[in-house]
Structure 1
């Protein structure tokens, strides 16, 4: 970047049509935006929501549009704060996650922009795959590196909606919680087969053309984008044991644990570096475990922005203090150098 900027990045608010989460992420977010973002001055400001901002997945196009409006109407404080940010010139970014992949639909992205910034729709940008700021940061939700959540043909959503996207295995398991375990296991098996077929399609010319178009938007070399798309191929032989483990843990009320940067983050950052497009920061969410750490054999710093909903799974301050909300900040100086890292914000000046 050739000019100074400040980035705030957060994820996994899971805002839905109800407001029953005890942490009240919608109301807390509005206070954060007013007290932190709108109260700040200086360089160009960006707020990036790194996936699962909304509960918006598995709907037809008309239903997606209606649900988006219902969510924003239910969270009026957040809606008004986001509009105030856009009106003040703050650039808003929404990276699609596995819970709000519907944002990638052109019609839904356009509606979000029109609702939040009617006078200047370009103040709101939707990133169907990941956000890339050359030499500064990449931000992706992270589900593309998890076999149980991966959507191999995710870019098709930005062209013709998600109607042609099959549910990933874990979503297939969760889609019908009232069904028997045997029935849901069958849905997982079918989702695995569909994912295998999709992985074959993303290696065909038609999908490569989508990747090359995306490379222009991302300001990345087309070969680099192709390599990034193939980092975490879905394989049934490795996914099924993981799915079985998740199902058992879910049935017993336990969680998968882990407090280190995922190997996929290192692969992603090193791939960018190998193509001459290295960045200082790799930011993701998805796991609900806030964390900052180094990446192996790579100068890029890793930050996971955790979650603002009640499903906190990490061991950070937000586990013991539910009024601590994790986010990342990245400051870019005029000479391109960056500083920042994981932060925790507490309402009412904490």
Structure 2
């Protein structure tokens, strides 16, 4: 990279068409952008939303476009703050999560860019899979390593839209909560079979071509991208018991959250190292558990951006103080050295 830069990374805001979350992420984010991002100067500025920024999953293309505009209309202050960032030259990055995979549609990505930066739409970038900054960081939502949420053929969303993508098992269970448990269990079983078939297609030549195209955007070797795509895999034999356990715990109002770096983070870091593309930071979200830790036998450090919504999980400052909002900052010096880590933002007066 040329020159000093600062990267702010947040995730799991889950902004929808209403503003009823008790933590009010849609009202806190504008203050953060103005107080942290727009107040900085003399460096390249990037804000990365590491997935599940919006509630945009399971809709047709036309419905998604209308819903995106409705969400931004509901959160006008956030909309204005994001536009102000783009106008000031801040690069905005949106990594797709399992709740906003529809952002990967070319038409939806273009609409988001046009809304937030009409003069320079290139200031807004959507990353269907993950963001790679050579030598600095990799940021992905994390659902691709979680069988209950994994969408094996995620890159097809950026080519064909998402209508042809099958729902992952947990999404299939949650799609129609009013249906009987037996009916929903059947939907989960069908989703498992569909995911198994999708995993086979990911290993075919046609998907390899998508991976090669993606490697150019990611500035990564094509073999490295292929290996990263195959690091995790859906398997019914292991997914079904996990799904059943998740359902029981959810019914009891409990969540099980790891208190250390996920094994997938280690696999990603080591794969990048093996291809001569090591990064200083691997950042993900998805678990709603803010965390920073070292990775075993790797120079890469792991950070999870947690959530700005009310569904905070695990132990941490954001659990004990709901007015503490987690984010990750990565600073890049002019000589390429990096520093940073997990931070917490508190709104004025809290």
Answer whether TM exceeds 0.5 for this pair.
Answer: yes
Counterparts of residues 113-124 of structure 1 (less than 5 Å) = 113-124=113-124
Q: Does the residue aligned with 1:45 lie in a helix, a strand or coil? A: strand
Which residue number in structure 2 is paired with residue 223 of structure 1? Answer: 223
Whether 2:6 is the aligned partner of 1:23: answer: no
Report the TM-score when normalising by structure 1.
Answer: 0.99
Whether 2:41 is the aligned partner of 1:41: answer: yes
Whether 2:143 is the aligned partner of 1:143: answer: yes
1:2 Cα deviation from its structure 2 partner: 2.7
Which residue number in structure 2 is paired with residue 133 of structure 1? Answer: 133
Q: Distance in 2 between matches of 1:99 and 1:244?
A: 21
Q: Does the residue aligned with 1:46 lie in a helix, a strand or coil? A: strand
What is the total number of aligned residue pairs between the two structures?
Answer: 350
1:314 Cα deviation from its structure 2 partner: 2.3
Whether 2:124 is the aligned partner of 1:90: answer: no
1:183 Cα deviation from its structure 2 partner: 1.1
Q: Distance in 2 between matches of 1:105 and 1:250?
A: 31
Contact 1:326 1:343 in 2 (8 A): yes
Contact 1:306 1:314 in 2 (8 A): no
Contact 1:279 1:300 in 2 (8 A): yes
Q: Does the residue aligned with 1:8 lie in a helix, a strand or coil? A: strand
Contact 1:128 1:155 in 2 (8 A): yes
User: Residue deviations 1:43-90, cap 9 Å, x none?
Assistant: 100000000000000000000000000000000000000000000000
Q: Distance in 2 between matches of 1:334 and 1:349?
A: 35
Which residue number in structure 2 is paired with residue 294 of structure 1? Answer: 294
Unaligned runs of 5+ in 2: none
Q: Distance in 2 between matches of 1:158 and 1:70?
A: 22
Which consecutive aligned stretches of 4+ in structure 1 deviate over 3 angstroms post-superposition? none
Contact 2:47 2:93 in 1 (8 A): yes
Whether 2:181 is the aligned partner of 1:177: answer: no
Q: Distance in 2 between matches of 1:25 and 1:301?
A: 27
User: Residue deviations 1:261-286, cap 9 Å, x none?
Assistant: 00000000110010000000000000
Contact 2:257 2:287 in 1 (8 A): no
- More displaced 10-residue stretch of structure 1: 254-263 or 46-55: 254-263
Unaligned runs of 5+ in 1: none
Q: Does the residue aligned with 1:327 lie in a helix, a strand or coil? A: strand
Q: Distance in 2 between matches of 1:38 and 1:71?
A: 23
Contact 1:130 1:140 in 2 (8 A): yes
Q: Does the residue aligned with 2:344 lie in a helix, a strand or coil? A: strand
Q: Distance in 1 between matches of 2:297 and 2:239?
A: 27
Q: Distance in 2 between matches of 1:258 and 1:151?
A: 22
Which residue number in structure 1 is paired with residue 7 of structure 2? Answer: 7
